[in-house]
Structure 1
């Protein structure tokens, strides 16, 4: 059975729609990120700040990469890392999972390599395999975005690194919506919620230890993930989710500072949870 069955069209149709953005409550935490959005699984928007502005979102792009792969792959599929995968990440100065040419990994392990250390080498390998070819894979990402109603999102690669022209973009609202879809996959949720993932040395690859760049997982209870990101153009970004008072809360901070995004996210989860409980 293909993994895509876990994210069926019937399930997708159940994803909560987004309401209008209310005025920020007086007791809401200060949000200094350039763009922000907080919504819960009942459809209540708890905070919006330029949430429909189109901006680069750095490695948050990898959420869509994982989503597309999960619709097409089997976790046991094996992919061989190419020299091009390694060179691509190194040349662009991107974060890598330390993969080497000739190593062979299951899709399950490559999803951890993609989402925890934010490996552009893993992104390249997955896109190349499931396009097949990166151009075809990017087209799949954009078709999927349209099918999910992400009207203000455009992808130009599978990893979020800046492109010289016709750069990709998204919005805080679109990224929150994508996360709601992705988190309906138990596989995706397991991956992005892991603090660390280790693969033992085998005949086909070295031992690897991948640690999650999302510090929010260690700062608060009930955190589900989801993804960090950074480029000069995008600033520090954080797509996060947690469970509070029986509801799933998803938040996005774009164009923030490094450590501040985690402390702000923690406060926003608690704030939204209080709004749910006493709202």
Structure 2
């Protein structure tokens, strides 16, 4: 009886060991007021008030870049005006340090738009490819409609607060937009760059633009995408990375500055585990 009992216990132990596969970790806590994480297979890994309409600050510039990429040739040149420079300075927005009279290719202005989040670059591109800001904003909203972003409305190309009829979007819509934008190799190359330098020429000064997205330095296989901040929107982050053969896209809205990057890194890891465990 004693021997049989020992053998039975051993068999049970072995069976238990083989029938208890490792479990994927629980989802990390998310302090952002709105959040959403989805992968390229359509699996949703996290949702938190993802359909709530809120301001999204400079995440708006993702749509600006998306529209420009469909309107422009990368070799087109755009001249910076006094209006572009004054607009950004007057509103206290982030700038790329552009000056009146400088001329840049669209390719370089996309870096100026997305890395330092230049409102001056946004203004210049909108005026050129509207033509005029009102026409460009109309293109942004038509594009949002065509992409099925039913809870998104744009009032400018840079995400700065407007006194009335303020723009808004949702975490869900921003993730959808990022998935579309990342299909462009040019867009992916821009938002995945830690820095971009343009050398001095006869039409512009030398510039070095550094990416405000710290996640690029904190985690591996990160694709971008965009940071944002205003008092109304709080700290925002739209991020993407490759995990176990899929592209994971996430959005954090109205978060804390440093926490958004650490949370995004954890969410990418969590999504990767969920994909691995099927």
TM-score by length of 2: 0.91
Query: Which residue of structure 2 aligns with residue 184 of structure 1?
Result: 183
- What's the CA shift for 1:272? 0.2
- What's the CA shift for 1:136? 0.1
Q: Is the 8 A contact 2:25 2:270 kept in 1?
A: no
1:228 and 2:227 correspond: yes
Give 3-state SS (helix, strand or coil) of 1:174's partner.
helix
Q: How does 1:209-228 map to 2 (within 5 A)?
A: 209-228=208-227
Counterpart CA distance in 2 for 1:110 and 1:197 is 11
Query: Which residue of structure 2 aligns with residue 242 of structure 1?
Result: 241
Give 3-state SS (helix, strand or coil) of 2:26's partner.
coil
Query: Which residue of structure 1 aligns with residue 263 of structure 2?
Result: 264
Q: Deviation per CA, 1:133-155: give whole Å up to 9, x if none.
A: 00000000000000000000000
Counterpart CA distance in 2 for 1:26 and 1:274 is 7
Q: Deviation per CA, 1:59-111: give whole Å up to 9, x if none.
A: 00000000000001000000000000000000000000000000000000000
Give 3-state SS (helix, strand or coil) of 2:98's partner.
coil
Q: How does 1:74-153 map to 2 (within 5 A)?
A: 74-153=73-152
Query: Which residue of structure 2 aligns with residue 204 of structure 1?
Result: 203
- What's the CA shift for 1:208? 0.2
Q: Structure 1 segments of 4 or more deviating over 2 A?
A: none
Counterpart CA distance in 2 for 1:79 and 1:140 is 19
- What's the CA shift for 1:169? 0.1
Tell me how many residue pairs correspond in the alignment.
255
Q: Unaligned regions of 5+ residues in structure 2, if any?
A: 1-23
Give 3-state SS (helix, strand or coil) of 1:270's partner.
helix
Query: Which residue of structure 1 aligns with residue 34 of structure 2?
Result: 35
Q: Unaligned regions of 5+ residues in structure 1, if any?
A: 1-24
Tell me the C-alpha RMSD between the 2 structures. 0.8
Q: Deviation per CA, 1:197-232: give whole Å up to 9, x if none.
A: 000000000000000000000000000000000000
Counterpart CA distance in 1 for 2:53 and 2:157 is 18
Counterpart CA distance in 1 for 2:131 and 2:162 is 21
Q: Is the 8 A contact 2:25 2:273 kept in 1?
A: no
- What's the CA shift for 1:26? 7.2
